[in-house]
Each structure stands twice: as C-alpha cells, then as structure tokens.
Amino acid sequence: MSVFVSLPGRLAAAALALCFSAVVHAQSEPQSGGVINVAIQPEPPGLMIGLVQNAPTQRISGNIYEGLLRYDAQLQPMPQLASAWEISDDGLTYTFHLREGVQWHDGEPFSADDVVFSTDVFMRETNPRSRAILDHVASIEAPDANTVVFTLKQPFPAFIQAFEVGTLPMVPRHVYADTDFYNNPANNTPIGTGPFKFARWDRGSVIELVKNEEYYEAGKPYLDRIYWHVIPDAASRAAAFENGTLQVMPAGSVENFDLARLEALDGSCMTEAGNEYFNPFAMLWLNNREGPTADKRFRQAVMYALDREFVRNVLWNGLGKVPNGPFSSTLAAHDPDLEQYDYDPDKARELLEEMGYDGAPVRLLPLPYGETWTRWAEAVRQNLEDVGIRVTTESTDVAGWNQKISDWSYDIAFTYLFQYGDPSLGIARTYVSSNIAKGSPWNNVEGYANPEVDALFARAAVENDEAARLADFAEVQRILREDVPLAWLLEMGQPTLYRCNVHDLITTGIGLNDGFKNAWIER
C-alpha cells in the first residue's frame, strides 16, 4: 500500500514547527471546566456545514461536525472519525476503518452508512467543491458497519487531503435521508458527532455551544461551554479582548494595525499557526476578457507596479509572505526557483508603452472586509497611477462585491482564496477553462483559458508518480508566471489572538476550524 501526502519544503516545515510549538504548550495536565468567549465576524448565515461554507460557519461548525480525518501542520492525515486507513498500491482504493462507539448528538449510533450517505448523496448534491473531488470516485461502499471503501476512477493523489470537516463533513443519515436538505428543520439545530453540541443562537448577539458529555475521546472536551459573540465593529471587538470579555480573537477579528498593541497586553498571546491547510492567498482578479487587462503585457506591468513588500511590512505588520507565483510556498508543488516579479515601476512603464496603452481607465474593486483592505486598495491604486495607469475605484458591500465578480463586471478586483493543501483541490479551480461559469465569485472569474494549462492540471490530478506530478505543476507555474492571469499579492498571515492561559487552542493544520476539543483553561 502507499500514501501520497503533500509536504511543505524543509525550511517552511521548520518554520511552521517553531510557530506551531508556540501554541502546543509544555504545561501541566489539562484542566476540565470553564467557559471561553470568542469573537465571530461576520455573523454566519447558518451552521449546517454541509450546506453553508462561509468562513464564519466553518470556524464554528468544526466543533459540532467532524470529518474522517484531521491534518497536522505538515498536512499529514491524522485520525478523527476514521481510526485507520489504507490506500492500495495502484492508488485506486481507499479503505477507512471507523472508530467504534461514536454517537450522534441525538444518541443515534454513527456508522459506515452515514459516511456513504454523507459523501455519495449529501455532499455530491450540496457542495460544488466537494462534488468536483467526488467526481473522481467510482463507488463508495460499506462492507460492514465500521468500514468504508472508496474506489476511484483513476488515481487522484490529492484525495487523501480531502477529508477535513469543511470539505467532507459527516452528516446524520437518519436525519437527512429522503428529505429536502435545504429546508430540513435540523439545519437550525445542527446534529453532529463533535465535541460540542449546539445550544442556542440569539441572532445578532451570541451562539452558544455546550460540552458533549458523550464524546468518544475520553476526558474531552475540557471546556464546558463556548460563546461565539457577534460584534460588528472591529474597535469594539478589540476593546472586548482588552477588557477580558473575549479570550479568543480569530484572524480578521481586529485590524492589523491593532494587533501589536493587543499582543503586548499582559497575558496576551498571538500565533500564526493553524493556517497550513488553507493557505489563504490574496490576489487581484484581472479581467482577461476585455479592456487593457486582456493584454498580457498590461497584466505583467501590474505585477511590476505593485510594491508588495511595502504592503506586507506596513499594512500587514510584517505578517505573511510575498509569493513568487500562484502556488503557496508551503505546498510541496511550489517551485522556489520561479523568478519573482520585483517592484520595478520602470519595467512596468516599458511594458505599457510597448503595448500602446492609451490611458483608458480601469475599474478597481476593493474587498469590503474592513480598514486594512481599504488601505490596501488605496496602495494598489497609488502604485498603478505611479506608472501611468488610470484607476477608478468602485466600492461596494459584500453582496455588491459578490454580484460584480459573479457578473464579470470589473477590471481589477481584490479577493483571497484557500489553497486546501494541494493544487488539485484548491488552485486548479482558479485557472482551468472548464471552471469558467458566470454566476459564481469562486471559480475562474478572470476568464483565463490556456489548453496547455488545462492539460497539465488534468494530468497532474491523476498522476500517481510524485516526481512526474511535481514536474507538471512546475510547468504550470512557469506558464502562469508568464501569462499572469491574476496578480499574486500575499500569502496571508492569519494571526489568532488569545489569552495565554488558554492552552492547546490550535493543534492541527486547519486551526480553529478544527474545533476546541483539546483547548483548556489554566486556572
């Protein structure tokens, strides 16, 4: 049998290990009891993670629902609802052995039938990203109550990376089978197998989770309750952390310029660990279809015009890393030798002159996620105008941003996307022409189409030889670096602020989204 797992580079792994060790405290034994208060912003539209995939939903629901596997900071799979697994030598058969004695929150037993229903029925219907992964699967069978066998149509090495709770969550068959999934009353009172149960949701105020006393891991969870507080104003959230009302502030809870002050408070800690799986990657959509941005030389000029180091150092307080191309530096497939687009305004002006840019204005669409993003848009506008590109800024709310991106009504637009631990899961979707579909802000909305890139991504997805797979991805990066379908801005630093007496808060590569089952409060 064989296992393919994407591994970060040696240096990146060492850095992550150092960062990770900062939160895996060598403290005394965990103490049971206590309540923890966490900020959540914006308020999630729902908590049924099989239906709702917004970031706030995933951040809370990992306490209620679970996947078959978890992933450590090096993206190695770890047991969750599956205690063991095997992959056949030909890469076509994945056999999962389930934990015994697991119960849903309503007391019903969890079994292999739930896994088959969740993956072969529920997620195939409800989630486009999961459905694309499951398109590689020919059959899902349960030979007994504690075994599930996935048979693939062809080798798909990234498949073992797809079993975290946000991608393939387990949902109860006895609650959802033969129902209207989207209008099932259980969506308002979610039932999972996780360490915490849903208790109440006071809209606009607080979501309460309580300890699952029947949880299958002995002694866990340690906390009695979690309160997720909805506080729309960033300054108010910062004040709540400062005065002790909140003990945990997930990434994005406060503006970057406030992080250093809050980290310096007595008893305050901060970590960037827990983002290794998602690799949030900030970019500028560049509309490849029309206007100046349709010209490759214009897009290259944009790359040379952007002072990305300034943004990282000033607007992001030194957090994150300036990328050299479309792949995060933490992925095994990342090419560290790819030539960087350095800040070079003169080179940008040369390219614009070469293409005959006539000064036609381009529309810049900021991301309406707060002060940092507003300032970032101002910096990009200044960079572009410095090389002679005329820019008009079109500010919107979140709904307006979604609509404009979905309608392809923009020239340059901010976004950030998760890379999900493997290019076949989180990167190809942005560049392959088969994923151009008007009406969604999360696919190939820039309209880039290159048959060679399509073929390389398709071949790499089913290539079981790691060296050959990495060679295909290296060639993809070289082509994309030349074509610049998007402008790559920043591998985003995603710091979590927390009170230092909260231990084992982040213990996997998916961070807070993995839930609070290991977290405990030192008293």
Q: What is the CATH number of the domain that holds 323?
A: 3.10.105.10
d(CA 289, CA 449): 10
Same domain, yes or no: 322 and 435 = yes
The phi and psi torsions of 196 (rounded to 5 degrees) equal -130, 145
Can you give the pLDDT at residue 276?
87
Any domain includes 16: no
Any domain includes 7: no
Enter the tokens of residue 164.
Answer: 């975290």
CB 299 within 8 A of CB 484: yes
C-alpha distances out from residue 400 to 19, 364, 394, Å: 37, 14, 10
Enter the tokens of residue 196.
Answer: 């915490």
Any domain includes 25: no
Can you give the pLDDT at residue 6?
32
Any domain includes 292: yes
Q: By C-alpha distance, which of 290, 428, 276 is closest to 362?
A: 290
The phi and psi torsions of 372 (rounded to 5 degrees) equal -60, -45
Instruction: Please report the beta strands in 156-303, taking only residues with DSSP state E, as ranges in sequence order.
Output: 196-202, 206-211, 225-230, 248-249, 268-271, 281-286
Same domain, yes or no: 166 and 44 = no
Can you give the pLDDT at residue 23?
45
Any domain includes 235: yes
The SS3 call for residue 373 is helix
Any domain includes 93: yes
d(CA 151, CA 277): 25
Instruction: Please list the alpha-helical segments (H only) found in 324-370.
Output: 345-355
Same domain, yes or no: 466 and 332 = yes
Same domain, yes or no: 421 and 356 = yes
The SS3 call for residue 332 is coil
CB atoms within 10 A of CB 89: 9
Q: What is the mean pLDDT of the chain?
A: 91
Please report, to the nearest 10 degrees, the dihedral formed by the alpha carbons of residues 182, 183, 186, 188 taken in order.
90
d(CA 105, CA 209): 12
Strand partners, 402: none
**Residue 4 pLDDT greater than 70, yes or no:** no
Any domain includes 392: yes
Q: By C-alpha distance, which of 310, 307, 316 is closest to 372?
A: 316
Residue whose tokens read 């048959």: 451
CB 420 within 8 A of CB 456: no
Q: What is the mean pLDDT of residues 342-356?
A: 98
Can you give the pLDDT at residue 17?
39
d(CA 373, CA 356): 31
Please give the share of the chain, as a percent, with pLDDT higher than 90. Answer: 76
**Residue 26 pLDDT greater than 50, yes or no:** no
**Rg, Å, the chain Cα set:** 23
Can you give the pLDDT at residue 493?
87
Same domain, yes or no: 311 and 383 = yes
Same domain, yes or no: 265 and 285 = no
Enter the tokens of residue 413.
Answer: 């637009």
Any domain includes 80: yes
Here the contacts of 14-18 (C-beta below 8 Å, separation 24 or greater) are 16/73, 16/74, 16/273, 16/276, 16/330, 17/73, 17/74
CB atoms within 10 A of CB 180: 7
Same domain, yes or no: 412 and 482 = yes
Same domain, yes or no: 485 and 385 = yes
The phi and psi torsions of 166 (rounded to 5 degrees) equal -75, -25
d(CA 297, CA 126): 40
State which of 145, 177, 209 marks the end of a domain: 177
Q: What is the mean pLDDT of residues 56-79?
A: 94
Q: By C-alpha distance, which of 515, 503, 23, 518 is closest to 222?
A: 518
Q: Give me the CATH number covering residue 257.
A: 3.40.190.10
CB 347 within 8 A of CB 386: no
The CA-to-CA distance between both ends of the chain, in Å, stands at: 47
d(CA 303, CA 45): 36
Same domain, yes or no: 518 and 484 = no
Can you give the pLDDT at residue 16?
39
Max mean pLDDT among 6-10, 395-399, 411-415 falls in: 411-415
Q: What are the pLDDT digits (tens) for 188-243? A: 999 999 999 999 999 999 999 999 999 999 999 999 999 999 998 889 999 999 99
Same domain, yes or no: 383 and 427 = yes
CB atoms within 10 A of CB 454: 17
d(CA 163, CA 43): 26
Same domain, yes or no: 265 and 299 = no
Q: Give me the CATH number covering residue 97.
A: 3.90.76.10
CB atoms within 10 A of CB 396: 17
**Residue 77 pLDDT greater than 60, yes or no:** yes
Same domain, yes or no: 213 and 303 = no
State which of 177, 210, 227 marks the end of a domain: 177
State which of 177, 207, 228 marks the end of a domain: 177
Q: How many domains does the chain have?
A: 3
Strand partners, 87: 94
Q: Which residue segment(s) compose the domain that 157 sits in?
A: 66-177
